[in-house]
């Protein structure tokens, strides 16, 4: 399987989890993102933007405009 397809699957799974599981916005979220940064090497600003985008899309799908 090529990396592009793996990325598509990973994104679909992340979107699924955001839609199906409760999103808890608590003070430890920034710490968790920092831990993810250390574990994955993905820059914190990218992790924040990715998370924000997924959450915004889920809210838009749920409530529409």
- Give the tens place of pLDDT for each residue, 1-44: 999 999 999 999 999 999 999 888 888 998 999 999 999 999 99
Question: Which pLDDT belongs to residue 31?
Answer: 93
pTM beyond 0.95, yes or no: no
H-only helix segments in 1-65: 3-20, 29-40, 44-63
For the chain, first and last CA: distance in Å? Answer: 37
- Res. 65 pLDDT band, cuts 50 70 90: low
27-52 burial code (b ≥16 CB/10 A, e <16):
eeeeeebeeebeeeeeeeeebeeebe
What are the structural domain ranges in the chain? 3-63
């Amino acid at each position: 399987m090529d990396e592009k397809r793996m990325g598509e699957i990973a994104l679909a799974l992340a979107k699924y989890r955001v839609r199906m599981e409760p999103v808890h916005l608590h003070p430890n979220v920034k710490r968790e993102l920092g831990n993810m940064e250390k574990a994955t090497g993905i820059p914190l600003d990218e992790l924040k933007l990715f998370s924000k985008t997924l959450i915004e899309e889920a809210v838009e799908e749920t409530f529409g405009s």
